[in-house]
Structure 1
Amino acid sequence: MHTTADGTEVVATRTQAESLASPPLLILDEVTAFFDAHGLGSGPLSWAQIGDGQSNITYRIRRGNDDFVLRRGPRPPLPRSTHDMVREARIQQLLRVQGVPVPEILALCEDESVLGVPFYVMGFLDGLVITNTIPTALSAMEDRRATSAAVVDALVRIHSVDVSSGDLASFGKPEGYLQRQVARFSGLWEVNTMRNLPEVARIGSWLADNVPDSQAASVLHGDYRPGNLMFAPQSPARVIAVLDWEMSAIGDPLADLGYLTATYSEPGSVATPLELTGVTRYPGYYTREDVIEAYRQRMDLDLAALPWYQALALWKASIFCEAIYTRWLKGERPNDRIFAPSLEAGVPQLLRSAAGFAGLAPAPL
């Protein structure tokens, strides 16, 4: 944990922040005042960034013996709808009441004068996020299978929440969700790219021409994958929190299942930029078909059209990954030496995989 500012991303005072050409991500005296106002610990702050910060940015904050997590959007200007901290906090508050495992939201700051963007503070959880290393505590074969089962169980719990009434009913309009997704992301491509990739339009047209009828309405996580789950740090495998709700909506539950399974790593699957939990390639974890079958047994939904949702997931992913690549080309991600440069080839790979789920013939090279 850091106890002092680094002078660029994190500064000590408002005066120092105003002297920078680019606004910092944390201003320690402002954060301290906010924590004081909401009774969140006491004493000086120490801090450490959590995760890779590809989108929204998360910090662990310690005050004395208390630990917290502060989550904020990236530096403006960016589309407000994709980094809505207020919305992200409120859906977690609503889901927590319904028994969905999400972090406890302790305070929400809508005042953009504090850090330049809204942010929220949640309770710190001591758990495991599984990516490319199998945790020792969950490494036995039975724990690997239980880990996979817990991934499906948590998704089923989210999709089983009643959205027909109450505050969640006003959180989004499920009717026409799929059509809106195709139209919205089609419109985002041209503003997010500096190159010509005809596959985007070809797959987008196929998606628009083959939209399935939605069978249900549910809460959608929008980025549901094992790497966005926190597990208890001991056996048996148990999800203690579903994280990163920035893409949440009310809509067709198969959109989440499509994304989970399209990005899921299994033995022999083609690697893509979204392979963020590679451990599921190892023995003991569910295969993609195991995930689908476990979900099918729990939810009364026809999964015949699932390939459409899988194609949608990777097509959308190619478009938001292209936005990251374009920002890097413009010099807006100067410290990114790995992920963004990889998208030169990674975005076309996502499009090839999307075309495969769609059953479209490979585009000529």
Structure 2
Amino acid sequence: MTQAKDAGNPAAEVRKEDAFAVQAVAAWLREHAAEPFRADLEGVPEVRQFAGGASNLTYLLRYPRRDLILRRPPAGVKAKSAHDMRREHDIQAALKPVFPLVPAMVGFCDDPSVVGSDFYVMERLEGTILRRDLPWDLTDEQVSTLCGRAWDVLMDLHSVDVAAAGLSGLGRGEGYVARQVGGWTHRFEHARTEDTGDWSDITVWLDAHQPPDVAARLIHNDFRFDNLVLSPDDPMRVVGVLDWEMATVGDPLMDLGGALAYWVEAGDDDYFQGFRRQPSSAPGMWTRAEIVERYCDRMGFAMTPERWRFYEVFGLFRLAVIAQQIWYRYARGQTTNPAYAVFGPAVGYLETRCRHLVTS
């Protein structure tokens, strides 16, 4: 994941399998970087890698006068749409004028002779990125304020005028929910490994219970605390939103459901607590039900517990597919990152969690 100053995930030595030709990147940047950045890019930067995240590879380029971030896809078999560097770059470039919480883009490269794949470079936002636990002593009231402001950012994004941002072309019209159910089911089937369980009752339930689209809004599709940058001067103020690789125009309630699949609250079971990678269970943080109520009240969407169940199940299923795709790469030896070893058992747990919801 793209990083700011972050004690929870410091940049480390580049893994051998993820190394690239640093001098080639430095030369490309000196020629192609956006004008405001080019004057600060003399010489060859020190390169470090962020271990966090399980999708695109993220590096810190440290120049004497400026830090930058480089993003590129991982090696091995992967879902094409999930690693489109041009798309990720262009969405942020278009969104920046109307949603200032995105980083400024420095440059996009589609010349495979530089690092062997497309990549893009952007500014490094200064601030704090939260990991599993809060790094400060905050009161419950302050934590609640932070939580509310974070979810307000998602609501602000869902309120962006898509046409004004020049991003109308991201949408494919009505049927977003149906495409998501079908698309993620298809991805799951193509990422199966020998230990994959039988999810047919869950996918049949999702297909039978899908609601019509409620709206067509700009959605992030990976909204979590560890994709937010908090101000270095005010830890309760969000100054950046990162990781736009799955952003699109679609149903905002599907985005909310996907985000809440990662929201482990204080009352969840011990195994799900092991999933927690953000301080969502800290005293003062809202429950998933409270977030849904706040969101629907502000956005004007009617909601019942029975209706919300679809979005909750879909969010957990989608998370399981993402985990299964990563586990597939690890099980096939396409990556040796030891952090991925837990993804297989995690898929099995999410299967149980989804099944409990669809049968309750």
TM-score, with length taken from structure 1 = 0.86
| Corresponding residue for residue 310 of structure 1 | 312
| Corresponding residue for residue 251 of structure 1 | 250
| Corresponding residue for residue 324 of structure 1 | 326
Mapped partners of 2:276, 2:173: distance in 1:
29
Q: Structure 1 residue 283: deviation in Å?
A: 0.9
Mapped partners of 2:76, 2:332: distance in 1:
15
1:35 aligns with 2:34: no
Q: Structure 1 residue 155: deviation in Å?
A: 0.3
Could you tell me whether the CA contact under 8 Å between 2:254 and 2:315 is conserved in 1? yes
- AA partner of residue 25 (structure 2): V
**Matched position secondary structure for 2:239:** strand
Q: Structure 1 residue 235: deviation in Å?
A: 2.6
Q: Deviations over 1:194-247 (max 9, x none)?
A: 236454221111111111011111011111122211111233511111111111
Alpha carbons of structure 1 residues 175 and 192: separation in structure 2 relative to 1, 3 Å:
same
Q: Structure 1 residue 343: deviation in Å?
A: 2.5
**Matched position secondary structure for 2:103:** coil
Alpha carbons of structure 1 residues 99 and 53: separation in structure 2 relative to 1, 3 Å:
closer
| Corresponding residue for residue 340 of structure 1 | 340
Could you tell me whether the CA contact under 8 Å between 2:261 and 2:319 is conserved in 1? no
Could you tell me whether the CA contact under 8 Å between 2:15 and 2:49 is conserved in 1? no
Mapped partners of 1:279, 1:2: distance in 2:
21
Q: Structure 1 residue 74: deviation in Å?
A: 0.9
- AA partner of residue 291 (structure 2): V
Q: Structure 1 residue 112: deviation in Å?
A: 2.4
| Corresponding residue for residue 185 of structure 2 | 186
Q: Structure 1 residue 274: deviation in Å?
A: 8.5
Mapped partners of 1:63, 1:165: distance in 2:
35
| Corresponding residue for residue 284 of structure 1 | 284
Q: Structure 1 residue 257: deviation in Å?
A: 0.9
**Matched position secondary structure for 1:230:** strand
1:229 aligns with 2:228: yes
| RMSD over aligned Cα atoms | 2.4
- AA partner of residue 8 (structure 1): K
- AA partner of residue 156 (structure 2): R
**Matched position secondary structure for 2:326:** helix
- AA partner of residue 109 (structure 1): C
Could you tell me whether the CA contact under 8 Å between 1:186 and 1:201 is conserved in 2? no
Could you tell me whether the CA contact under 8 Å between 1:200 and 1:315 is conserved in 2? no
1:26 to 20, 24, 32: 20
Q: Structure 1 residue 341: deviation in Å?
A: 2.4
Mapped partners of 1:236, 1:117: distance in 2:
36
Alpha carbons of structure 1 residues 268 and 93: separation in structure 2 relative to 1, 3 Å:
same
Structure 2 residue ranges without an equivalent (≥5): 1-9
Could you tell me whether the CA contact under 8 Å between 2:258 and 2:318 is conserved in 1? no
- AA partner of residue 324 (structure 1): I
Mapped partners of 1:214, 1:100: distance in 2:
27
Mapped partners of 1:273, 1:175: distance in 2:
36
Q: Structure 1 residue 79: deviation in Å?
A: 2.7
Q: Deviations over 1:160-216 (max 9, x none)?
A: 012256621112214111111111122222321123645422111111111101111
| Corresponding residue for residue 174 of structure 2 | 175
TM-score, with length taken from structure 2 = 0.88
Instruction: Report matched runs for 1:20-169 at 5 Å.
Output: 24-37=18-31, 38=33, 39=38, 41-136=41-136, 139-164=138-163, 167-169=166-168
Mapped partners of 1:219, 1:303: distance in 2:
20
**Number of matched pairs:** 342
Could you tell me whether the CA contact under 8 Å between 1:174 and 1:252 is conserved in 2? no
Could you tell me whether the CA contact under 8 Å between 1:61 and 1:68 is conserved in 2? yes
Mapped partners of 1:197, 1:6: distance in 2:
32
**Matched position secondary structure for 1:295:** helix
1:8 to 16, 21, 25: 16
Mapped partners of 1:326, 1:297: distance in 2:
40
Identity %: 30
Alpha carbons of structure 1 residues 315 and 156: separation in structure 2 relative to 1, 3 Å:
same
- AA partner of residue 33 (structure 1): A
Could you tell me whether the CA contact under 8 Å between 2:229 and 2:240 is conserved in 1? yes
Q: Structure 1 residue 303: deviation in Å?
A: 2.5
1:204 aligns with 2:206: no
Structure 1 residue ranges without an equivalent (≥5): 10-23
Alpha carbons of structure 1 residues 140 and 6: separation in structure 2 relative to 1, 3 Å:
closer
| Corresponding residue for residue 15 of structure 1 | none
Mapped partners of 2:56, 2:184: distance in 1:
19
Could you tell me whether the CA contact under 8 Å between 1:273 and 1:346 is conserved in 2? no
